[in-house]
């Protein structure tokens, strides 16, 4: 049986990533708002764009704390943020969705999202992803590392120095692998399972542009930041 232990520098890396992730938490208030009232499609779309805009700002701050990220080529830094923003949004949404709330609230939240204005055809892949994240019961450190690993995906469009990105992503993957073995000793496949979620996340990326325009309403307005990052309008 392989004796897995986290080295001193890996402990330091974990602390940096976990602190950055916790410091840059999105307020969970989107769930509270949704539990309060049933909004129109227009109001829900506005809520989405507001939450997504602030999440992008939070993501940029988190990314700046990833060791080595700011030493990457500047265009590559933009390419990595642009390439991972949608996935990071769905990963964060999955974490909000999976948070255990007082009894019945999780069902109300699911119902509010189902009736928010998103078109039916995207509900299944989106909720399949949320549920597949929920059943993993990830700890904060795993969520933080998974977000950092998603951002540091070398094969995003327009990334020039992929090796430089791989060199930053590898230590995160190695640390996550060890963490999974230590946190979930009874689930030897847990690490592989987490990485499988990243593949599922990419498919949501693929649906995203169509998802946005298919909201049951006309005149979809976006913030300037979302126009940049979501390639819309």
Ligand X SMILES: O=C(NC1CCCCC1)[C@H](C1CCCCC1)n1c(-c2ccc(-c3nnn[nH]3)cc2)nc2ccccc21
Binding site for ligand X (CB under 6 A): 26, 30-31, 34, 44, 47-48, 51-52, 55, 89, 92-93, 96-97, 113, 116, 118, 208, 211-212
Quote the tokens at residue 130: 């949320």
Please, what is the minimum distance in Å from the beta carbon of residue 152 to ligand X?
20
Provide the H-helix boundaries in 24-138: 29-36, 41-64, 74-98, 105-114, 123-134
Could you identify the residue written with the tokens 């969705």? 97
Nearer to ligand X, 190 or 215 (CB): 215
Please, what is the minimum distance in Å from the beta carbon of residue 193 to ligand X?
21
227 C-beta neighbours (distance < 10 Å), count: 12
Please, what is the minimum distance in Å from the beta carbon of residue 30 to ligand X?
4
Q: How far apart, in Å, are the Cα atoms of 172 and each of 10, 45, 66, 67, 206?
A: 9, 34, 10, 10, 25
226 C-beta neighbours (distance < 10 Å), count: 20
Quote the tokens at residue 3: 């004796």
Quote the tokens at residue 162: 């992929």
Please, what is the minimum distance in Å from the beta carbon of residue 132 to ligand X?
14
Nearer to ligand X, 99 or 160 (CB): 99
Nearer to ligand X, 26 or 201 (CB): 26
Nearer to ligand X, 33 or 177 (CB): 33
Please, what is the minimum distance in Å from the beta carbon of residue 6 to ligand X?
29
Could you identify the residue written with the tokens 């791989």? 166
Nearer to ligand X, 160 or 221 (CB): 221
């Amino acid at each position: 049986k392989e004796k897995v232990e986290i080295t001193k520098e890996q402990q330091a890396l974990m602390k940096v990533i976990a602190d950055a992730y916790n410091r840059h938490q999105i307020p969970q208030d989107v769930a509270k708002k949704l539990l309060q009232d049933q909004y129109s499609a227009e109001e829900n779309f506005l809520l989405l764009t507001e939450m997504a805009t602030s999440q992008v700002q939070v993501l940029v701050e988190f990314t700046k704390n990833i060791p080595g990220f700011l030493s990457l080529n500047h265009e590559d830094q933009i390419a990595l943020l642009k390439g991972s923003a949608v996935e990071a949004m769905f990963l964060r949404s999955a974490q909000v969705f999976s948070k255990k709330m007082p009894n019945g609230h999780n069902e109300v939240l699911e119902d509010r999202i189902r009736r928010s204005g998103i078109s039916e055809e995207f509900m299944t892949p989106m909720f399949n992803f949320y549920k597949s994240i929920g059943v993993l019961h990830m700890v904060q450190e795993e969520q933080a590392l998974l977000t950092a690993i998603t951002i540091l995906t070398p094969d995003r469009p327009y990334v020039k120095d992929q090796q430089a990105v791989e060199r930053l992503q590898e230590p995160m993957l190695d640390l996550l692998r060890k963490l999974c073995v230590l946190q979930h000793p009874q689930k030897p496949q847990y690490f592989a399972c987490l990485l499988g979620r990243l593949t599922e996340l990419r498919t949501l990326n693929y649906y995203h542009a169509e998802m946005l325009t298919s909201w049951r309403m006309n005149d979809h307005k976006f913030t300037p930041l979302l126009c940049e990052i979501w390639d819309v309008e």
